[in-house]
Amino acid sequence: MGLLEGKKALITGGSRGIGRAICEVFAREGADIAFNFSASKDEAARTVDQVISYGRRALSYMVSVVDRIGVKEMVRQIISEFGRIDILVNNAAINRADNFGTMSDRAWDTVIDTNINGLFNITKPVFRQMVRQRAGRIINISSIGGMRALPTSVHYATTKAAINGFTKCLSREAGAFGITVNAIAAGIFDTDLGNTLPEKFRELYQFWCSAGRFGRPQELAELAAFLASDRNSYMTGEVIILDGGAIT
């Protein structure tokens, strides 16, 4: 029996990086997986194949988290197929290598819309379903960039700080319905998003990090699997730092 045997999970941004790793680990632990993606059908197909290889069901949807109507329809279809959604992982996010002084209005709006409005768009219909079920697990993927003064873009850091507040406040409301809400504040992981950071900072991070390296997506996925499981019956409203012991 896996940690998530028989569970139904929805992971946003599941076609690559951390999102794909979460899909794979959750499937290995016994969950059926639904995920959305916004670009590569080939990458999404790889995630589907990996989930199926564990003997679990896989549903994929090419819809952006900023498409509120499309997201609502996706959630409706998932519930129709799976019967329920036990776990939601809000992973989808974007970053742009912008300096605040030269940042365009469009760049600000794009990052805010994806990382914050997208979080609302997907969580609201799933949360309502979990309230009816009187059970659920919500995990938000945040960043240490929302907690510390790091050389990352201001709009990205702003969204991650907002996710931390969203997590803590929603956990208060969710607790009455048997729903836990937690966040994982990730350090630098070996992903496309992590590679957008300045090279000098990436080198310093590895030097000062206790683990001496960047994180691997599967390592974050393993923590997420525990948070999503029935073994985690008491932790909620927490922002858990997973950065390899970085000194920043």
Q: How confident is the model at residue 247 (pLDDT cuts 50, 70, 90)?
A: low
Taking 60 as the threshold, does the pLDDT of residue 248 lie above it?
no
- Averaged pLDDT, 62-83: 98
pLDDT tens for each residue of 26-39: 999 999 999 999 98
pLDDT tens for each residue of 171-221: 999 999 999 999 999 998 988 777 767 788 788 888 888 999 999 999 999
What is d(CA 23, CA 54) in angstroms, rounded to the nearest whole number?
11
- Averaged pLDDT, 79-101: 94
Q: How many beta carbons lie within 10 A of that of residue 40, not counting itself?
A: 12
The DSSP element (H or E) to which 174 belongs, if any, is: helix 154-174
Which of these, 17, 3, 14, 23, lies nearest to 227 by C-alpha position?
Answer: 3
Which of these, 11, 33, 45, lies nearest to 126 by C-alpha position?
Answer: 11
The DSSP element (H or E) to which 124 belongs, if any, is: helix 118-133
What is d(CA 107, CA 118) in angstroms, rounded to the nearest whole number?
15
> Which DSSP letter does residue 27 get?
H
Q: Which of 72-86, 90-104, 206-220 has the highest mean pLDDT?
A: 72-86
> Is the pLDDT higher at 39 or at 119?
119
Taking 70 as the threshold, does the pLDDT of residue 7 lie above it?
yes
Contacting residues for 117 by C-beta, under 8 A, at least 6 apart: 65, 66, 68
Report CA-CA distances (Å) from 43 to 3, 13, 46: 26, 11, 5
Mean pLDDT, the chain, whole residue set: 94
Which domains occur in the chain, in start order? Answer: 8-188+216-242 (3.40.50.720)
Annotated catalytic residues are: 156
- Averaged pLDDT, 218-225: 98
pLDDT at 200: 82
Contacting residues for 165 by C-beta, under 8 A, at least 6 apart: none
CB-based contact 32:82 (threshold 8 Å)? yes
pLDDT tens for each residue of 137-147: 999 999 998 99
pLDDT at 208: 85
Q: Determine phi and psi for 123, rounding to 5 degrees.
A: -70, -40
Contacting residues for 69 by C-beta, under 8 A, at least 6 apart: none
